[in-house]
């Protein structure tokens, strides 16, 4: 058991966002105690380690609700290009040459970066899943794989096989039905994914309305928005997630609200790729569940939830000309709790007994965290990765005081990433 | 002398932004050597310290070209409010109660934060200047004070007195003619500031066209934009700087270009306070000099040049719907070099012999800096304060590996800041 004492805790177990002066104990992968222990309780408990938070802050860790982790290899490789050039002349040709071993190392690099940002889990959409899973499980990092099929109807079978294979493969891994996007899927595939949703009564997650072009072309093809089409085919019948959602119509939002679909905003990617500003305050007003993601490191290019939190709210303020738009507590809850729920990680959304011990410790004795008037505002408006003192996943400390504990030397990962990229270019 | 060896250097001494495998030596406050030393040179030089950069990157430090450092005390105190409420019900009443001692401690807190972000100098507009200067000089931090007078004509005299008093008071301190803004200055004061510009053939810096309301009201009063009015009064005759510049007209931009006035963008503040997105790509196209600033920590709320750099370019991409807008090298040059020139720090803008040794070392053995395809893009798109290994000002290492060397324990600063704020609330 680990004891976190002498700190402040934002639990997100209730409606508020207040920091409490309480303790948190973990037992193996779970939280076993939250509160003020009695002398009796303390006397009867043996801890492996007692961590003196010394006034620092413990929160449910951040969860990155949309990413393509292995795309680290293309970071800074082809930025400052128009979107279509970037995708077709740079990204796709390079991706076509990726091996499983490549994905393994590039994913490990992303895991290091998540940990430095206080992230304990990712909702990842990519390929070479065996190697991706191996990278996560070896590192002790949690990941929810999002189905990424595209193309023809037959690929629905592939999706179902993966759904059955990867759910249950490891306690840190789960798999959600999903596909790349409407614009890369034949109609038959979409139909069959709707049938899979019904067969497993399962949520479905996908890129949705990232660009105006995507929406216009879908309307051209089907006379409907992507969300309208998914609704018609039963794809969102049991919920799920839409990634980006920059260009949702009012009717789309109503479907999201009714079906309990999570809208996952990716403001860093949406700004860097000039996709637009999502109407996030409208989502919240309609009661749509809100998640937050970085998107992949080729489009963002950081995997930094602090930057995403600041962007999430400041872009709403800009969009509406209203400095009061999307307050900090809503943003922090989305990053810690909403994103977990978007991924189906219902036991990773808060600090409460029986929940998974997915925790982040934020150091407050740092210039950008002082003075302390309001901790949620400090985190969202001036917080930085520099303040992450510790990242804990399933009760294991994977990152502490700048050091990684993922069973692999980080310098070896940097070296292997460089070697893999040289080999890829030569292929 | 200090020797920085085995690293990469972006000098900004020429037009490019390439990293070179060269050494940098410093002697007292200046750079004494840049290049590849001969064995002879090495044999004949005694170093106090040899710093093995081990492949890491040395750049001219960041300069924060617009800030109100002491406003750290209001960080997270009153965010998520409409701008007018924030200013009139929160900021102004609290500021009215500030003492010199308060400004001293709040400024020291800001200096700590600048150092964690690789910033070696600030262009600061505030009051209680003796205490502000003391905080900077004691810390070894460089600051350019910007005149901040407002109100009646008589205050031009105050400005002139300060100009004569603070220039030359310490090698780390200089003072530039300036005033708060058109909307807080009587016409007579603006006239007299124009006369001061002429008398000293000196540049003048001020808030300029931050909000649409400000510009509309100025046109209402004078039939001219703020920039048009300043031009008429000779205020910009010898250059200077405009802070924010969110709402410049074409004619305003032409004046900036012609007079060599620096446009200092503050994208974090402009988004958080919902002021709008400046037309920065238009400035660059017109040949306007570009600087970058955080604005004060009550409006931003971080003093983080990495976040500003990402915002500077990504907001242009969003504004234009063009992912190719304002490339990374332009942004990095503005943060390191353009901002220095905007402050009149002409000897702090690049890594070259005879220049001030104002330097930042960026650690590249970090997940968000790998792989290394393009260092400028890494810094701008995925860089973070976490990557700042060292900040050097006037040849002195003020921050290294998370530790401060400013002659004061940082925990004492945090404690004094808290105490000062409690006392201020009680006044």
Q: Are A170 and A32 part of one and the same domain?
A: no
Judged against a pLDDT cut of 80, whether residue B48 lies above it is answered with: yes
- Strands (E) in B37-115, as ranges, are 49-52, 57-60, 62-67
Question: Which residue in the set A77, A109, A272 is minimally distant from B314, CB to CB?
Answer: A272
Q: Are A295 and A361 part of one and the same domain?
A: no
Q: Return the residue of B nearest to A115 by Cα.
A: B367
The pLDDT tens digits of the residues spanning A35-90 come to 999 999 999 999 999 999 999 999 999 999 999 999 999 999 888 887 778 888 88
Q: Return the residue of A nearest to B315 by Cα.
A: A271
Angle ∠(B78,B79,B80) on CA atoms, nearest 5: 130
Judged against a pLDDT cut of 90, whether residue B277 lies above it is answered with: yes
Q: How far is it, in rounded angstroms, from Cα A196 to Cα A227? A: 17
Tell me the average pLDDT of chain B: 97
Q: Please report the pLDDT score of residue A86 as a whole number.
A: 80
Stretch A224-241: mean pLDDT, rounded?
98
Helices B100-116/B129-139 angle, 10° precision: 40
Q: Please report the pLDDT score of residue B55 as a whole number.
A: 98
Q: Are B158 and B56 part of one and the same domain?
A: no
Q: Does B418 touch chain A (CB under 8 A)?
A: yes
Residue A427 in domain: no
| B311 contacts in chain A (CB < 8 Å) | 314
Nearest in space to A243 (alpha carbons), one of A153, A126, A142: A126
- Residues sharing a CB contact under 8 Å with residue B139, sequence separation 6 or more, in sequence order: B108, B111, B398, B406, B407, B408
Q: How far is it, in rounded angstroms, from Cα B143 to Cα B121? A: 5
Q: Does B401 touch chain A (CB under 8 A)?
A: no
The band of B89, judged by pLDDT with boundaries at 50, 70 and 90, is confident
CATH number where B331 lies: 3.20.20.140
Q: How far is it, in rounded angstroms, from Cα A79 to Cα A84? A: 12
User: Which residues 321-380 of B have a C-beta within 8 angstroms of A?
Assistant: 321-325, 327-328, 365-368, 370-374, 377-378
Q: Return the residue of A nearest to B382 by Cα.
A: A302
Q: Do A414 and B365 touch (CB under 8 A)?
A: yes
Q: Are B317 and B398 part of one and the same domain?
A: no
Q: Does B307 touch chain A (CB under 8 A)?
A: yes
Residue A178 in domain: yes
Q: Does A247 touch chain B (CB under 8 A)?
A: no
Nearest in space to B184 (alpha carbons), one of B213, B221, B149: B149
Stretch B47-69: mean pLDDT, rounded?
98
Q: Are A313 and A369 part of one and the same domain?
A: no
Q: Please report the pLDDT score of residue A88 as a whole number.
A: 84
| B272 contacts in chain A (CB < 8 Å) | 313-314, 317, 323, 381
Our count of domains for chain B comes to: 2
Residue A383 in domain: yes
Q: Are B39 and B87 part of one and the same domain?
A: no
Residue B416 in domain: no
Per-residue b/e over B28-65, b at no fewer than 16 CB within 10 Å? ebebbbbeebeeeeeeeeeeeeebebeebbbbbbbbbb
Please give the distance of CA B168 from its chain centroid, rounded to a whole number: 20
Domain boundary among A342, A363, A387: A342
User: How many Cβ pairs within 8 Å bridge chains A and B?
Assistant: 223
Q: Do B317 and A377 touch (CB under 8 A)?
A: no
Q: Does B87 touch chain A (CB under 8 A)?
A: no
Question: Strand, helix or coil at A150?
Answer: coil
Helices A305-320/B305-320 angle, 10° precision: 50
Q: Do B73 and A371 touch (CB under 8 A)?
A: yes
| Edge-first strand listing for the sheet containing A8-9 | A8-9, A57-60, A359-362, A388-393, A396-400, A403-404
Q: Please report the pLDDT score of residue B81 as a whole number.
A: 80
CATH number where A393 lies: 2.30.40.10
| Edge-first strand listing for the sheet containing B57-60 | B8-9, B57-60, B359-362, B388-393, B396-400, B403-404
Q: Does A421 touch chain B (CB under 8 A)?
A: yes
Q: Do B367 and A109 touch (CB under 8 A)?
A: yes
Q: Does A72 touch chain B (CB under 8 A)?
A: yes
| Burial class of B228 by CB neighbour count within 10 A (0 to 12, 13 to 18, 19+) | middle
The pLDDT tens digits of the residues spanning B132-159 come to 999 999 999 999 999 999 999 999 999 9
| B54 contacts in chain A (CB < 8 Å) | none
Q: Does B300 touch chain A (CB under 8 A)?
A: yes
Question: Which residue in the set A317, A386, A414 is minimally distant from B271, CB to CB?
Answer: A317
Q: Are B126 and B265 part of one and the same domain?
A: yes
Q: Please report the pLDDT score of residue A78 as a whole number.
A: 82
Q: How far is it, in rounded angstroms, from Cα B7 to Cα B20? A: 8
Test the A interface: residue of B106, B305, B316, B318 with most A CBs within 10 Å: B318
Q: Are B56 and B90 part of one and the same domain?
A: no
Residue B423 in domain: no
Q: Do A310 and B315 touch (CB under 8 A)?
A: no
The pLDDT tens digits of the residues spanning B321-365 come to 999 999 999 999 999 999 999 999 999 999 999 999 999 999 999
Judged against a pLDDT cut of 80, whether residue A376 lies above it is answered with: yes
Residues in chain B: 427
Q: Please report the pLDDT score of residue A167 as a whole number.
A: 98
Q: Do B110 and A77 touch (CB under 8 A)?
A: no
Q: How far is it, in rounded angstroms, from Cα A31 to Cα A71? A: 33
Q: What kind and span of H or E run contains B291?
A: strand B289-292
Angle ∠(B332,A378,B342) on CA atoms, nearest 5: 30
Q: Return the residue of A nearest to B108 by Cα.
A: A367
**The domain containing residue A26 runs over which residues?**
2-60+354-404
Stretch A3-15: mean pLDDT, rounded?
97
Q: Return the residue of B nearest to A302 by Cα.
A: B382
Q: Are B26 and B107 part of one and the same domain?
A: no
Q: Return the residue of A nearest to B114 by Cα.
A: A367
Judged against a pLDDT cut of 90, whether residue B87 lies above it is answered with: no
Residue B414 in domain: no
Residues in chain A: 427
Q: Return the residue of A nearest to B418 by Cα.
A: A371
Q: How far is it, in rounded angstroms, from Cα B81 to Cα B87? A: 9
Task: Give how far B36 is from chain A: nearest CA, Å.
Answer: 26
Domain boundary among B291, B307, B342: B342
Q: Return the residue of A nearest to B378 by Cα.
A: A76
Q: Please report the pLDDT score of residue A102 as a whole number.
A: 97
- Least confident segment among A15-19, A166-170, B122-126, B177-181: A15-19
Q: Do A381 and B76 touch (CB under 8 A)?
A: yes
Q: How far is it, in rounded angstroms, from Cα B309 to Cα B332? A: 7
- Residues of chain A with pLDDT > 90, as a percent, come to 96
- Furthest CA-CA distance within chain B: 69
Q: Are A200 and A266 part of one and the same domain?
A: yes
Q: Please report the pLDDT score of residue A87 as a whole number.
A: 80
Query: Does the model's pTM come out above 0.90?
Result: yes
Residue A398: φ, ψ to 5°? -100, -15
Residue A419 in domain: no
User: In this structure, is the dihedral angle defined by the CA atoms of residues A393, A395, A400 and A406, taken in order, positive or negative?
Assistant: negative
Q: Are A27 and A160 part of one and the same domain?
A: no
Q: Do A307 and B303 touch (CB under 8 A)?
A: no
Tokens of B198: 């002429």
Q: Are A56 and A66 part of one and the same domain?
A: no
Interface pTM, i.e. ipTM: 0.97
Q: Do B80 and A272 touch (CB under 8 A)?
A: no
Assign 3-class secondary structure to A158-221.
Answer: HHHHHHHHHCCCCCCEEEEEEECCHHHECHHHHHHHHHHHHHHCCCEEEEECCCHHHHHHHHHH
Q: Do B75 and A378 touch (CB under 8 A)?
A: yes
Q: Do B381 and A300 touch (CB under 8 A)?
A: yes
Q: Return the residue of A nearest to B366 by Cα.
A: A113
Task: Give how far A40 is from chain B: nearest CA, Å.
Answer: 35
Q: Does B281 touch chain A (CB under 8 A)?
A: no
Q: Please report the pLDDT score of residue B78 as a whole number.
A: 82
- Residues sharing a CB contact under 8 Å with residue B395, sequence separation 6 or more, in sequence order: B2, B26, B27, B28, B29, B30, B356, B357
Task: Give how far A58 is from chain B: nearest CA, Å.
Answer: 19
Question: Strand, helix or coil at B172?
Answer: coil
Q: How far is it, in rounded angstroms, from Cα A235 to Cα A202? A: 9
Q: Please report the pLDDT score of residue A89 as a whole number.
A: 86
Question: Which residue in the set B324, B370, B414 is minimally distant from A82, CB to CB?
Answer: B324
Residue B417 in domain: no
Judged against a pLDDT cut of 90, whether residue A127 lies above it is answered with: yes
Task: Give how far A165 is from chain B: nearest CA, Å.
Answer: 31
Q: Do A323 and B82 touch (CB under 8 A)?
A: yes
């Amino acid at each position: 058991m680990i004891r976190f004492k002498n700190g402040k805790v934002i639990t997100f177990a209730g409606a508020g966002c207040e920091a409490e002066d309480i303790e948190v104990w973990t037992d193996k992968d779970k939280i076993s105690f939250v509160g003020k222990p009695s002398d009796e309780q303390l006397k009867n408990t043996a801890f492996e380690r007692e961590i003196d938070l010394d006034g620092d802050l413990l929160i449910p860790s951040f969860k990155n609700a949309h990413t393509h982790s292995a795309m680290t290899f293309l970071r800074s490789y082809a930025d400052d290009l128009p979107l279509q050039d970037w995708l077709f002349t740079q990204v796709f040709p390079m991706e076509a040459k990726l091996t499983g071993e490549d994905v393994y190392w590039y994913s490990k690099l992303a895991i290091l970066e998540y940990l430095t940002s206080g992230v304990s889990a990712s909702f990842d959409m990519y390929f070479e899943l065996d190697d991706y899973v191996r990278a996560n499980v070896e590192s002790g990092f949690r990941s929810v794989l999002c189905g990424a099929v595209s193309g023809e109807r037959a690929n629905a079978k592939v999706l179902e096989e993966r759904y059955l294979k990867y759910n249950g493969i490891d306690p840190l891994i789960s798999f959600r039905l999903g596909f790349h996007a409407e614009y890369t899927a034949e109609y038959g595939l979409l139909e069959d994914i709707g049938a899979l949703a019904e067969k497993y009564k399962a949520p479905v997650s996908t890129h949705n309305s990232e660009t105006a072009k995507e929406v216009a072309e879908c309307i051209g093809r089907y006379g409907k928005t992507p969300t309208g089409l998914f609704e018609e085919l039963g794809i969102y019948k049991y919920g799920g997630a839409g990634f980006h959602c920059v260009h949702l119509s009012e009717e789309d939002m109503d479907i999201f609200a009714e079906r309990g679909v999570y809208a996952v905003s990716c403001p860093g990617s949406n700004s860097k790729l000039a996709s637009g500003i999502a109407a996030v305050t409208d989502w919240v007003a309609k009661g749509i569940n809100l998640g937050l993601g970085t998107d992949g490191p080729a489009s963002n290019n950081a995997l930094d939830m602090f930057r995403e939190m600041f962007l999430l709210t400041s872009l709403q303020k800009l969009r509406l000309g209203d400095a009061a738009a999307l307050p900090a507590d809503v943003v922090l809850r989305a990053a810690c709790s909403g994103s977990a729920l978007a991924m189906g990680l219902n036991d990773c959304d808060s600090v409460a007994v029986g929940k998974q011990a997915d925790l982040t410790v934020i150091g407050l004795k740092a210039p950008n965290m002082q003075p302390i008037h309001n901790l949620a505002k400090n985190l969202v408006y001036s917080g930085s990765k520099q303040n992450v003192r510790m990242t804990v996943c399933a009760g294991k400390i994977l990152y502490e005081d700048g050091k990684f504990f993922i069973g692999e030397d980080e310098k070896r990962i940097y070296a292997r990433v460089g070697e893999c990229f040289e080999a890829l270019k030569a292929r």
